[in-house]
A = this chain, B = another copy of it.
Amino acid sequence: MRNDCTVYKTMDYLSKKWTVMIILELYKGSRWKRFSEIKRSMEEITPKMLSERLRNLEAEGIVERKADSEESPTMVCYRLTEMGLDLIPVIKGVKSWALRWKVDNPACASQDCLVCVL
């Protein structure tokens, strides 16, 4: 597997901090969500990180962005694309594996955990 391998690159950005959490946050509700709304739901993320990850995901075609500059203050919304939605089963695959082999953490498989609610 080479560094320019699509699968390698996919693993690479999926595993960056916050990325999966953002995808799941957008999946939850499956509708347009505002920057501030996403940010509010992930208390500790900085605007820099959220912005960076969203731009990345948009560039990958996983997230789409809609800006309405007529509005004031400006309104920007994000949601998963079809490609992004199709990533959910992949994340579920990781979840299933983890639940099969690694449930050593009682907090997992609980309501506290976004991925475990999947």
A interface residues, Cβ below 8 angstroms from B = 1-2, 4-8, 10-12, 14-16, 20-21, 24, 61, 83, 86-87, 89-91, 93-95, 97-105, 107-108, 112-116
Contact = CB atoms under 8 A, between A and B. Distances in A.
Contacts of A12: 15
B104 A97 contact: no
Taking the full assembly, how many copies of this chain does it contain? 2
A101 B115 contact: no
Contact of A116 (B7, B15, B105): B7
A95 B20 contact: no
Given A24-B1, A100-B86, A15 B11 contact: yes
A11 B102 CA distance: 13
A111 to B, nearest CB: 12
A114 B1 contact: yes
Contacts of A102: 6, 10
A6 B116 CA distance: 9
A85 to B, nearest CB: 11
Contact of A98 (B2, B10, B98, B99): B10
B14 A1 contact: no
